[in-house]
Structure 1
């Protein structure tokens, strides 16, 4: 999708795919399965066991209980199923905007009311705003849900343990169920640390969606895991059996291999992404000094504030038309996104440099 959506003269730095070769253990696991003809329906807990081991080693979290997991086709479809388990068709969903556009798309397709709780100017959760949103969402007889993006997309903000504990406290106070999208959890900048939502005090009734797809570039091999806190186990147990038919069996194998045997590859990736963040800082300072960029603590995405360029609400359209570089339009991320673009850093330094050169040329 990344390289084929636009004409050949467009440099694509938009959709969240990485320009990397597969980790060798992942490629070998896929080849071994194909050689065996092992291409049937998915079954078993291998993926969940691999994620539990990864969580213990990387996040010092031993609370991921394999028996409180369910395989789902991908994170967004898993979110849809979690919402169905803990709320009704007319119950509102709170989101921290600007946020991943499919949150809006999927929720609107479900007919769910959306209550926005904008982030503060630094890209962090504004708890006064969040409490107000929880209060509005919980009015009447509603069963509201908070769809938490952690790490946050597009800002790359890493929520702290204290912030997540405050989320859990507010959620209990207002009767809000928390569903956390934690798909970018393994992709952290040097010095940052991911905290699983279900690991903080008070989050026992929460639900999480995790996947190896972003960190190991496996979006085309569909598989993800829904994870329940101790008090949400009965909710997760009600997930329809047919949901488990959606994931790819080869996807399960690939994701488990990544989490189990792909950590050295991931470490190399994280070093490259740190280098690319620093490179982008330098390139923008040289060629586009009016663009504001705070290197993210997580994800391989850069959230660029282009409002000083006076390009209107959708600078991505200008960069595409005049510079032939494709970025994500900030306006699609909800309130607070106008005037921003999202740039995908998971490519070569040469392509990042060429993208910034084209963006600067688009202003001439």
Structure 2
């Protein structure tokens, strides 16, 4: 099934990943392009090398022209996300009355943890996982209980049950912070897997808070399943955002969504949290969800092409690097353990190849010897990236 059929339109948009040169990208002043010296090719942090989608640009420019730069208000963002979820995922369970705007996904997660648990209560995570899961949980003075993924990068339910039992045995109100789709592996959890998470969570008295920020970015033929839609997921809390799919990290906004049995929890969210999102961010995200479907379809097609390209390049130039193309995200999780570069191959690639990749060990146990590569870029830059990696070994 083609991506575009989900929106019942035929996408004729140009591939956003092929529209900017390296020279144009180096004019950017964001973290991706200013953290390393100019001779380093940056394929690390989750920013894509794309122009802003036209519907988003028009909406932001119109707001600026009006001087509409005040505080955020209303439910337009949640309404747009509900419509998007119905079109793309066939899910009508995103109830606007059970949603709230939050500054961004990670700050929203911290607020959700406060709603369903107390200070010092344990948080279960599936490692290796997005490093801020560790950072934000520990900065909130909560212990992390790890449930490692299987060697295939999927949820290991024996490990998850053991982690739930451990967390429940520590007292308090344990929470499972679930990444869906999973970053860095690109795994898309199935309905059966998510249902089993819900069943185990109910058995051990664990609440589930799920980061679904990468949900719109799935490979062709892949179905994303919202956690709140599965049996037993009704007491879950989800964080969603358009930021990853439309490259809007600098225009901060996200929404928290409660399942029917978690509505009372979300209702306790302090009103001042809704002051945190950027009003322009909400304008941008709403426009993306409502009018950016063709742009997204073109991006998804380009990412499918880049996954195949990366697999071919590694096969030809770095055959000992193992890469299983993910079914979601624009991130490649590369097993470099056979290269003999130790636990931190990203350091060697940076020093000897002048390419910046994410350090696998930062993602927790199971990340040693891996790197995360951002393939949300042009085929030319991706080709140069593998060339530089090969030159480093």
**TM (normalized to structure 2)?**
0.92
Residue in 1 aligned with 2:179?
149
Q: Distance in 1 between matches of 2:317 and 2:170?
A: 53
- Name the counterpart of 1:2: 32
SS at match of 2:246: coil
Task: Name stretches of at least 5 consecutive residues in structure 2 with no aligned partner.
Answer: 1-30
Could you tell me which of 100, 122, 127 is aligned with 2:157? 127
- Structure-2 change in CA distance of 1:140 and 1:314 (3 Å): closer
1:207 aligns with 2:237: yes
Corresponding residue for residue 126 of structure 2: 96
1:234-261 residue CA offsets vs partner (Å, 9 max, x unmatched): 0000001111111000000100000000
Q: Identify the residue that residue 36 of structure 1 maps to in structure 2.
A: 66
Q: Tell me the CA shift for residue 108 of structure 1.
A: 1.1
Indicate conservation of the 8 Å contact 2:80/2:290, yes or no. yes
Shift of 1:140: 4.6
Cα-to-partner distance string for 1:306-332 (whole Å, 9 max, x where unaligned): 000010000000000000000000000
Is it true that 1:15 corresponds to 2:45 in the alignment? yes
More moved, 139-148 vs 282-291: 139-148
Distance in 1 between the 2:101 and 2:353 partners?
42
Aligned counterparts of 1:284 and 1:232: Cα–Cα separation in 2: 45
2:136 counterpart residue number = 106
Q: 1:192 aligns to what?
A: 222
Please state if 1:53 is matched with 2:83. yes
Q: How far apart, CA to CA, are the structure 1 residues paired with 2:128 and 2:52?
A: 31
**Match status 1:178 vs 2:224:** no
**TM-score normalised by structure 1 residue count:** 0.99
Provide the rounded CA distance (Å) in 1 between the counterparts of 2:188 and 2:85.
Answer: 16
**Deviation string, structure 1 residues 121-173 (Cα, Å, up to 9, x no partner):** 00000001100000000015320000000000000000000000000000000
Residue of structure 2 equivalent to 1:354: 384
Aligned residue in 2 for 1:299: 329
Paired residue total: 363
State the secondary structure of the residue aligned to 2:136: helix
* Unmatched 5+ stretches in structure 1: none
Q: For the Cα contact (< 8 Å) 2:122–2:170, is it kept in 1? A: no
- Confirm or deny: 8 A CA contact 2:123 2:142 kept in the other structure: yes
Tell me the distance in 2 between the aligned counterparts of 1:214 and 1:140: 35
Give me the whole-angstrom Cα distance separating, in 2, the residues matched to 1:341 and 1:154: 9
**1:211-360 mapped onto 2 (5 Å cutoff):** 211-360=241-390
Distance in 2 separating the partners of 1:259 and 1:169: 32
Specify the SS of the correspondent of 1:303. strand
Q: Secondary structure at the match of 2:244?
A: coil
- Residues 149-205 of structure 1 deviation map (CA, whole Å, 9 limit, x = unaligned): 000000000000000000000000000000000000000001111000000011110
- Distance in 2, Cα, partners of 1:204 & 1:358: 47
Task: Tell me, in whole angstroms, the C-alpha distance in 1 between the residues paired with 2:389 and 2:159.
Answer: 35
Residue 228 of structure 1, CA deviation: 0.2
